[in-house]
Amino acid sequence: MFSNLLRKGKKIIPYSLALTLLFSACKKEKEVEPTTQTPTSPTTPPSSGNKDECLTASALDNGQVIPGQYIVKYAETGEKLGTRTFHKVLRSNKIDPEKILRTFDGNLKGVAIKLETGEVEKLKKDPNIEYLEQDKIVSISDCPARVEYQAAGWGAKRVGHAEGSGKYVWIIDTGVDLSHPDLVVDAYKSKSFIPGTTVNDDHGHGTHVAGIIAAKDNGFGVVGVASGATVIALKSMDAQGKGSISNIIAAVQHIEQNGKAGDVVNMSLGGGYSPSLDKEVLNAANKGFVFSIAAGNSGIKADSSSPARVDHPNIYTVSAMDSTDTFASFSNYGKTVDYCAPGVKILSTYKNGGYATISGTSMAAPHMAGILVMRGKNFKKDGSVKNDPDGSADPIPHL
């Protein structure tokens, strides 16, 4: 930890450039890089309620429908559809099966597919189809900023941290830096849902989330809540920070098929309302998988965003607070939020072996995930957040 190094008189080489990003559930303030390049001006100004923050809103296209792309759910009644039989259904409606982008084999049986308007109308009338939902974008927005030094993060100190070696966590995000010296990543179990890519994080958001949960307690860098736990990366967003709801659904189904009850899943993401995503997350929770989900950064009720709106004993939707236990003005709130965790100016790991300071509920959720990895549901509460806008203060979790 940096504080230990400083007390021992060891030198820490400062980094000079920081790059700030916002995920649908996070705002990146500072990316620490060994370069002297002057950052450009922010593309989006900070919100008036968070003058010390950069970007408090989601990327402009986050949650927008993807034209011509649909999630098709097979009907529960009638002919039991599989890949081959569904191809027959498509052909009977004069739709080319080559338009299928992805097949869902879990609780949500169906496909992601490209369709024209006339083809959509045909499938809506087919008794083998329960419903069609337009696929949506999950997207990240960037904002440059500058930082002159690194400092120990406060989040893990606030909620507690412990040795987590031998434990593991699933992270649905932009991937994870496979060679980061502060992380343990199971590359074999990890999987990319972005065609033509590995699970290596070429964006940075997923690596930052991973460090909050599981950075090693090794004398340098940062310390995760479940220090040294193994990360399994499910890459659902690309280098530009863009993915789709159908990617996220596929990642959840992958966990259902390859994990076991009690496994912890972090989802620092959201892309608007999606009944298909909500159903799949709820199904996984019913099977015993435990989710930590970012509440969102729009300063509105969390029940307007999927999967933050899903309510279940195995689903923890998390709002964000600052180092004074005060509710972050950017954080979503409401009855679907279960806990509040550190989410303002959180230092953690970043792509290319670096470190970054980021703010958002994307950072709050992995603090909760780390606690769940270490304690399951048997964790403590340590007070409540101040100034919760819904009038019912969210409790603060602790190991």
Residues catalogued as catalytic: 173, 205, 362
Pairwise CA distance, residues 170 & 233, whole Å: 6
Q: How distant, in Å, are the alpha carbons of 11, 155, 261, 346, 355 from that of 7? A: 10, 20, 43, 21, 21
Reduced to 3 states (helix: H, G, I; strand: E, B; else coil), residue 20 is strand
Count the neighbouring beta carbons within 10 Å of the beta carbon of residue 77. 9
Letter for the amino acid at 278?
Answer: D
Q: Tell me which residue of 161, 376, 107 sits closest to 261, measured CA to CA.
A: 376
Pairwise CA distance, residues 26 & 229, whole Å: 23
Pairwise CA distance, residues 279 & 161, whole Å: 33
Sequence-distant contacts of 124-128: CB under 8 A, at least 24 apart: 126/89, 126/93, 127/75, 127/77, 127/78, 128/74, 128/75, 128/78, 128/79, 128/81, 128/86, 128/89
The structure tokens 């429908």 sit at 65
Q: Tell me which residue of 258, 257, 265 sits closest to 285, measured CA to CA.
A: 265
Pairwise CA distance, residues 283 & 269, whole Å: 18
Pairwise CA distance, residues 343 & 297, whole Å: 10
Pairwise CA distance, residues 143 & 379, whole Å: 36
Please list the alpha-helical segments (H only) found in the chain: 2-7, 83-92, 117-125, 155-159, 205-214, 245-258, 275-286, 361-375
Pairwise CA distance, residues 201 & 385, whole Å: 33
Contact criterion met (CB below 8 Å) for 397 and 382: yes
Considering Cα of 194, then 258, then 86, then 137, what sign does the dihedral take? negative
Q: Tell me which residue of 286, 280, 293 sits closest to 253, measured CA to CA.
A: 280
